[in-house]
Structure 1
């Protein structure tokens, strides 16, 4: 078996084929949050922007968007396929937005959970604090650590998925496990394809953050939580639609966050 860094991240077009979002639900949900919770201006930083499709949607909505990611492959793809935003390479564990003060920082699809340690999470939130104008918003959606308390349905058996792209059939077998000591959800995903290429295994992990823990660390960095709920959102079932209001609970698989930087908190 041949290991790969990340089959989908290394192949952005394949990523979008595996996770299509033709209705741009994630981008529309984000724009709705920015409007609903009163983003005071138009400058948005999408950190962990991936292929750039959500950043481009926000750009088309009239925002001045900077998309940031650590993957050179994703950034190159975004500049060609989803033009409009300004794309830069940056590490969400600690980034420097320069002299620009953004009105919102957006962090979608569990990107925030790649902060595996407290130091990395502190680095991310300190960078957000430096990058935001007073009163700026942090909008994020991610897996919900509390969902795994007493539940094993996502852990009991591997999940098998398949799709076809450009005439090649791809199949993935995904196994999840909880590392309680590190507070991580670990994932092993084995890819096979019918084009004769060898199987490839991808290993990754997300931090399991619990709602009250998230509230505490946000408050420590000067953020006031405006919304923290399990849905509806871009990756819930059923998915979010215009006009949907938060349910007010935090029991589902996804966690949706909107927080405001208090004026006195910006350095």
Structure 2
């Protein structure tokens, strides 16, 4: 039986309930993991991969099945426990992507999907993350990241004009989420308020989060300042674009739509 909304384990219903997260954001075709693997192959990455902000471990496990030696890192103990049980193969470790060290480990690639990089809200946090990523990579190693595109919100309001309502059923309970986004221009954040309701008699639960809005040239500059060469930066196709990425699709050439996809190489 599911836990009532009025009694979440901590402040985030989805990250504290990984099964619920996968029910809300299903990826049966492992599209995100396949896209990441395609990038790693396209740009010649070696076998040792760090999945930074690995969440439930779905993508880390896909990369493991593709023949790579994978470490998944996340700050959520609930997500890590679920990943170890449900998506075995990678090694899973606790780490804060804003600044981390994994002694004794060196990687050929760091993968950071689903806007995880944008949980670095300040320039100091972004610097800490990128410096940590660089230290973790072997010379010539790749950073592959997928995230929202701050430039999309210049003059566009379609994601801001009205709440988005999504419904799904998990363990016999019908859930509905109503999500409202707004741009905090001073902090350069996309702030999200999500209200959860369920038909199990529990009270509605309101949760708040935010992503840093990065612009393409800003991202290029920050990555370069930490000793990376940008190999590709484009809006689509990708695992969360319309249309979705499919096997054989080449990277795009513009950065106009809602998502950004980054591939950068650590310089020696």
- Answer whether TM exceeds 0.5 for this pair: yes
Name the SS for the 1:235 alignment partner.
coil
Question: After TM superposition, where is structure 1 displaced by more than 3 Å over at least 4 residues in a row?
Answer: 1-4
Q: TM-score, normalised by structure 1?
A: 0.97
Name the SS for the 2:133 alignment partner.
helix
Written as runs of structure 1 = structure 2, the 5 A alignment for 1:87-166 is 87-166=92-171
Name the SS for the 2:244 alignment partner.
coil
- State yes or no: 1:42 paired with 2:39: no
C-alpha distance in structure 2 between counterparts of 1:241 and 1:262, whole Å:
30
User: What does residue 172 of structure 2 align with?
Assistant: 167
Written as runs of structure 1 = structure 2, the 5 A alignment for 1:44-59 is 44-59=49-64
User: How far did residue 197 of structure 1 move?
Assistant: 1.1
C-alpha distance in structure 1 between counterparts of 2:102 and 2:220, whole Å:
24
Name the SS for the 2:26 alignment partner.
coil
User: What does residue 221 of structure 1 align with?
Assistant: 226
Cα RMSD (Å): 1.0
C-alpha distance in structure 1 between counterparts of 2:51 and 2:252, whole Å:
25
User: What does residue 179 of structure 1 align with?
Assistant: 184
Name the SS for the 1:66 alignment partner.
strand
- Paired residues, what number? 262
C-alpha distance in structure 1 between counterparts of 2:102 and 2:47, whole Å:
15
User: How far did residue 128 of structure 1 move?
Assistant: 0.5
C-alpha distance in structure 2 between counterparts of 1:105 and 1:259, whole Å:
10
Q: TM-score, normalised by structure 2?
A: 0.96
- Deviation string 1:173-208 (CA, Å, 9 cap, x unpaired) is 100000000000000000000001111011000000
User: What does residue 207 of structure 1 align with?
Assistant: 212
Q: What is the aligned counterpart of 2:13 among 7, 10, 28?
A: 7
User: How far did residue 156 of structure 1 move?
Assistant: 0.5
